[in-house]
Amino acid sequence: MSIIGKDIEKVVSLLIKGELVAIPTETVYGLAANGLDENAVLKIYQTKNRPAFNPLILHTNSIDKVREIVDTFPPNAELLAKTFWPGPLTLVLDKSASVPEITSAGLNTIAVRIPNHALTLELLSKLPFPLAAPSANASGSISPTMPGHVEKTLGTKIPYILDGGNCQIGIESTILKIDKEKVYLLRAGTISAEEIEEKCGIKVIKNNIDRSIQSPGMLRSHYAPQKKLLAFNREELEEFIKNSKNQEICILAFDTYIDSIPTPNQRLLSVKKDELEAARNLFNMLHELDEMDSELILAEFLPEKGIGIAINDKLRRASANK
């Protein structure tokens, strides 16, 4: 089984040897390896059972190091980086020749971010290479937000889990693709398009339908529990429960319990209707509900705005047929 600990020197030596280590970030735990070492990166794909067409994000601790892995770092990327890094924002830029094809899954762009977690920033400052790190879960399943989640699915496959406690953001970073002057939203996260427009004056193009500008990893079925999950708005949810008398159900609701279901079978994302708190709780509560005895998880959508857009996107993918 993996060791769970805080020994950064040990992690540095494992990574230099080409091994995999789970690392904490503010969003979710990552399954990290030397992003410039083809063999180490190949182990990430094998360990997660990740499709070879799904590129990885490179993590570093400074904008200078980012410049070494991208071809150009245009002014709009610089403004976004200065505003949101370290933080839950990933930028997709043209890649430099130093990044192996396997890391970008053959694309000529590369995703980069500076995560906001003290332990991981310290680790990155000691490494002479960036870390490729997808979420530290089996491909398609619920993302990990604490060391125990990683241990549950990857515990027999990796030597070390760097213990950084519970992830404070709790859902994956917002991903933007920078294409010359244009900025496209590839994945919604806690930094919303509205916040980006407000703080940087940069227009974010949403819902683009051009396949060449989409993320190859935005699979229709993703973040899925072992159990069947269905997601509804509140009215539909109550109606569904009325019509499903004999089923063992557990509930993931936004801020108030459903009267007809025992409360131990329910989780509330945020009684204060705080979207950030809801994001932080989302995967953790899905992990808990997945371990209960019931057959079915019913989840309630948040209002479709701000961070609610990212949470609802995860719920839709978690409910898609595998």
Q: Which residue has the tokens 């705005």?
A: 305
Min dist CB 268 to ligand TXA, Å, is: 24
Min dist CB 320 to Mg ion, Å, is: 15
**Backbone angles phi and psi of 215, in degrees to 5:** -85, 125
What is the Cα–Cα distance from 307 to 311, expressed in whole angstroms?
Answer: 6
Helical axes 275-290 vs 147-154, angle rounded to 10°: 40
Given Mg ion, ligand TXA, none, residue 115, with its beta carbon under 5 to 8 Å by kind, binds ligand TXA
Given ligand TXA, Mg ion, none, residue 35, with its beta carbon under 5 to 8 Å by kind, binds none
Q: Considering beta carbons, is residue 23 or 268 the nearer one to ligand TXA?
A: 23
Does 174 bind Mg ion (CB under 5 A)? Our answer is no
List contacts with ligand TXA (CB under 6 A). 25, 27-28, 30, 54-57, 88, 90, 92, 104, 107, 109-111, 115, 133-135, 172-173, 175, 186-187, 215-218
Q: Which of residues 122-151 bind Mg ion (CB under 5 A)?
A: 135
Given Mg ion, ligand TXA, none, residue 319, with its beta carbon under 5 to 8 Å by kind, binds none
Peptide bond into 262 cis (omega under 30): no
Residue nearest ligand TXA (C-beta atom)? 217
Q: Considering beta carbons, is residue 135 or 192 the nearer one to Mg ion?
A: 135
Given ligand TXA, Mg ion, none, residue 216, with its beta carbon under 5 to 8 Å by kind, binds ligand TXA
Q: 195: which residues sit within 8 A by CB, 6+ positions away?
A: none
Q: Which residue has the tokens 């213990």?
A: 163
Residue 30, both tokens? 């990552």
Q: 30: which residues sit within 8 A by CB, 6+ positions away?
A: 22, 23, 24, 59, 115, 131, 133, 134, 135, 136
Binding site for Mg ion (CB under 5 A): 135
